[in-house]
Chain A
Amino acid sequence: MSTWKEFTKGILKENPVLILVIGLCPALAVSSSANDGLGMGIASLFVLVMSSLVVSALRKVIPSAIRIPIFIIIISTFVTIIDYVMHAFQPELYANLGVFVPLIVVNCLVLGRAEAFASKNSVWLSVVDALGMGVGFALALTVLGAIREMLGNGTLTLFNIEMLNFGPSFKPALIMIMPPGAFLTLGFLMALQKRMSEK
């Protein structure tokens, strides 16, 4: 029961983007399409789970005086791995995400989970927590990207497959895939979330 709770808290009750309001930079910058949002979400999920795993496994040997530099080394190692692997296997996605792939290293979500959770809990619980948070983050990015892509481009693409196309008669609101649309969509999503949680 408690394991399940650790997992689901990241998805709704403590969703990183909508409730904790962290990891905003990638959430807004790469959500101009559902595909990019999902790709960024999966990349962050990988880094989050792997670094939580390593941090919690080493939590007893890491001296607390130098724990932050060690966390940073661990995180940046996994960030560099995903950086090169994505470049090799998904060049198009890599080009779309650009500088935001190496910047996963400063995503407060990753260091925050390492410091607040993984350094104090068992490997199993830390991985579950990281999975929940990562899935919550990826979901938020994908939903944000899906809304923006549908309204701003008239299409919906997931896993590189075009799922929906509103056709040429649909006049997309370009502003939605431009920077102001990102802030606007997230603002409305947050208000909606507040409305739902207070009902």
Chain B
Amino acid sequence: MRDTIKLGLTLAFICSFAAVLLFYVVEKTVPMIKENERIANELKRKEVMTDAVTIEPNSTEAPEYYIAKDASGNVIGHVLSASERGYGGLIKITVGVATDGSIRAIQLTKLDQQETPGLGAKVVTAKFKDQFKGRKVADLKVMQDGGHIVSITAATITSRAATKAVRDALEGFLSKK
């Protein structure tokens, strides 16, 4: 009996020590992780709207899109978040839309996808992203499906998913507006 209590106490002591240590590390790192994400998202919004002076969410509570304005306060476009299931996971894309409903630019980094390295992961290259510039809803399909987006070699699922993400986000936004 005494042995059992001793075992229990040792275990409890080690567990509580581990819990305190972990709690400290989590307290320190979680704000950094959130801050990194916020900075990365802000940077992506700026990159798709290079000439905007302010990019503000449409509402403070549940922002659906962001409104980009120039120095004199004129709306020059909107920034949307798009996502779609790819081959390895969710592909998240930041889309900049001009006032005429065409795409100004799209942006995603290595952190926004989990596609196969060397194949689908090429979705983050400028070669793939730049093809979206100036496109309208009707063009936003891969070549095989009758659109204008050239698929990444040997990564049709990824290319289709990325294209669909942008198209759906744009369509949804235009129908609401």
Interface with B: A3-11, A18-26, A85-93, A136-144, which one?
A85-93
B119 at the interface (CB under 8 A from A): yes
Does residue B71 face the partner (Cβ distance < 8 Å to A)? no
Grouping DSSP codes into helix (H, G, I), strand (E, B) and loop, the B interface class, with mixed when no group exceeds half, is helix
Interface assignment of A121: CB less than 8 Å from any CB of chain B: no
Q: Cα distance A63–B116 when bound, in Å?
A: 46
Complex alpha-carbon distance, A61 and B28, angstroms: 31
Interface string of B104-143 (1 = CB under 8 A from A): 0000001100101111000000000000000000000000
A158 at the B interface (CB under 8 A) = no
The interface residues of chain B lying within 8 Å CB-to-CB of A33 are 117
Chain A residues with Cβ below 8 Å from B18 are 73-74, 76-77
Contact between A81 and B25, CB atoms less than 8 A apart:
yes
> B7–A65 contact, CB under 8 A?
yes
A80, B25: Cβ atoms closer than 8 Å = yes
Max chain B Cβ within 10 angstroms of own Cβ: one of A33, A88, A89: A88
- A contact residues around B30 at 8 Å (CB): 84, 88
Q: Is the CB of B25 within 8 A of A85?
A: yes
Does A180 lie at the interface of the complex (its beta carbon under 8 Å from any beta carbon of B)?
no
Q: Is B154 an interface residue (CB 8 A)?
A: yes
Residue in chain B with minimal CB distance to A61:
B10
Contacts A152-B118, A178-B118 given: A88-B33 contact, CB under 8 Å?
Answer: yes
- Docked pose: A70 CA to B110 CA in angstroms: 38
Total A-B residue contacts, Cβ distance less than 8 Å: 71
Which chain B positions have C-beta within 8 A of A153? 117-118
B26 touching A66 by the CB < 8 A rule? no
Give every chain A residue within 8 A of B119 (Cβ-Cβ). Answer: 174, 178
Question: Are B11 and A88 in touch, CB under 8 angstroms?
Answer: no
Which of A32, A70, A85, A92 makes the CB contact (< 8 A) with B111?
A92
Asked if B21 and A81 sit within 8 Å, CB to CB, the answer is yes
> B residues 1-21 with Cβ under 8 Å of A?
3, 6-7, 10-11, 14-15, 18, 21
Residues of B within 8 A of A70 (CB): 10-11, 14
Among B14, B28, B154, the residue within 8 A (CB) of A174 is B154
Does A95 interact with chain B (Cβ within 8 Å)?
Answer: yes
B36 within 8 A of A: yes
5 A/B residue pairs, CB under 8 Å, sorted by A: A77-B21, A84-B25, A87-B29, A92-B111, A153-B117
